[in-house]
Amino acid sequence: MTRVDTAETGQGGAGRRDTGAGTWGARIRRAIRAASRPGPWKRGRVLAALALLLGLFMLLHAKIPNRIGNLGGLVETFLPWFGLFIPVLLIGALWRRSASAVAALLLPVMVWLNLFGGLLGDKSHPGGDLTVAEHNVGAGNPDPVGTARDLAASGADVLALVELTPEARGAYENELARAYPYHTVQGTVGLWSKLPLSDTQPVDIQMDAGPLAATKPVDIKMAYNRALRTTVATHQGPLAVYVAHLGSARVNPRAGFWTAHRDRNAQALGEAIAAEQNERVVLLGDLNGTMDDRAFADITSQLRSAQDAAGKGFGFSWPAKFPVVRIDQILVRGVEPESSWLLPATGSDHLPVAARISW
C-alpha cells in the first residue's frame, strides 16, 4: 500500500511539474506573440491612410476636375458633410488602438474647422436698418394663402418670392397687399416691399445654348423670366435688389451632376451684377447651389453671404423636412449683414431665409 501511494504521489508530482512546464510554455508563447504584435504606431495603417486622404480631399476640393460628371461641383455642394467621416474613422482608430490613425485624423479635423468652423458660432449682432427675406414658395405648394400670411408676419421690409405660378400669383398678391404696398412680378419671380420701388426690369439670365436662343420670341422669354432687378428707396439711400431663381441641378446616373442651365444662369447673373452702378446691392434668390461651388465664382467674387458673415450654423434651407444644403441665398455688397436666420417652414419644400442689414 505504501509503494502504491508513493507511486501515485510521484505521478502527481510529475503531473504538477508537467503543469508548471506547460504554464511556462504558454507564457513564453504569449510573450512571443506580444513581441511580434505591431505597436500602436504600426496598427491601423489603412485607417491612417484613409484619414490623410480625407483631409487632402477636403483641402484640395477646388482641384477636383469637373470634366467627368461635374464631380468637383458635386463634392463642393455637399462638402460640409464630409466631416461626418471623421468620427467614423476615430471610432475605428480607437477600436484598433492605433496611435497613427488618431494622429492622421488631425489633418481632416484642421481642414474641416478651417473651412466651416466659423459657421459653428453665432455671429449675429443686434440692430440693423432693413430686414430682407427670400422664399421659394414652391410651384406645388398646397397652401399659398397660408404661406403668404406666414411671410407677412415675419416683419420683413423687403420680401422676394420665386417659383411663382400663374395660379398662385393672385393669392400672394391679395394676402401681401396690406403689409406690402409696393410689389413687382416678372415671370416667376417677384418682390414685395414696404418701401417704394423704381427702375424695375427683368434680367435675362437664360443664356440658352443653340439656335433657339436667337429665335425665342420676346413674350416667351418674359413668360419664363427667372430674375429681376429693382431699386428700393430706403431712408439711407437707394438699394439695388436682385431676385433670381437659377436653373435646377440634377444628379443623373448618365450625366453625373447636371448643372448646365444653372451654371449659364449664374454666369449671366454675375455679368449683370458686375454692370450694376449702385454700390449697395442685395441678391435674394434660390440659386440651386451652395456658395462653395466654383460655378458661382462670378457672383461670390462680388457679393458675400449674409449667412456666412452674420448667421448661426449652416443655414441649410432645402429640403424643408430635412435640410441638407443651403441653396436659398442672401448675398450683399456695400451694406453690412447684422444677422441672418431661417424662418419657420411653410407649405413649400424650401425654408424661407431672412437677414438684417445696415449701412
Residues in CB range of 183: below 8 A, 6 or more apart: 173, 176, 177, 190, 191, 192, 193, 197
Cell 413649400 appears where? 348
pLDDT tier, 222 (very low <50, low <70, confident <90, very high otherwise)? very low
The per-residue pLDDT for 255 is: 73
Do 135 and 336 touch, CB atoms closer than 8 A?
no
Q: Which helix (H) or strand (E) holds 136?
A: strand 130-136
Highest mean pLDDT among 2-6, 39-43, 243-247: 243-247
Q: Which residue has the higher pLDDT, 224 or 307?
A: 307
Q: Which residue has the higher pLDDT, 209 or 358?
A: 358
DSSP state, residue 182: E
The per-residue pLDDT for 50 is: 97
Q: Compute the mean pLDDT over every residue in the chain, rounded to the nearest whole number.
A: 89
Does residue 118 have a pLDDT over 60?
yes
329-340 confidence digits (pLDDT tens):
999 999 999 999
Q: Which residue has the higher pLDDT, 24 or 130?
A: 130
Average pLDDT over residues 41-65: 94
Do 148 and 172 touch, CB atoms closer than 8 A?
yes
The per-residue pLDDT for 43 is: 84
Q: Which residue has the higher pLDDT, 271 or 210?
A: 271
Residue 18 to residue 163: CA distance in whole angstroms: 87
Domain spans of the chain, in order of start: 45-119, 130-358
Q: Which helix (H) or strand (E) holds 200?
A: strand 197-202
Do 275 and 298 touch, CB atoms closer than 8 A?
no
Average pLDDT over residues 176-198: 98
CATH topology classification for 130-358: Deoxyribonuclease I; Chain A (3.60.10)
5-15 confidence digits (pLDDT tens):
544 444 444 44
Residue 158 to residue 234: CA distance in whole angstroms: 10
Average pLDDT over residues 94-105: 95
Alpha helices in the chain (DSSP H): 2-36, 45-59, 71-77, 85-96, 99-104, 106-116, 144-152, 166-176, 212-215, 218-223, 260-274, 297-300, 306-310
Grid cell listed for 252: 443623373
The per-residue pLDDT for 252 is: 80
pLDDT tier, 37 (very low <50, low <70, confident <90, very high otherwise)? low
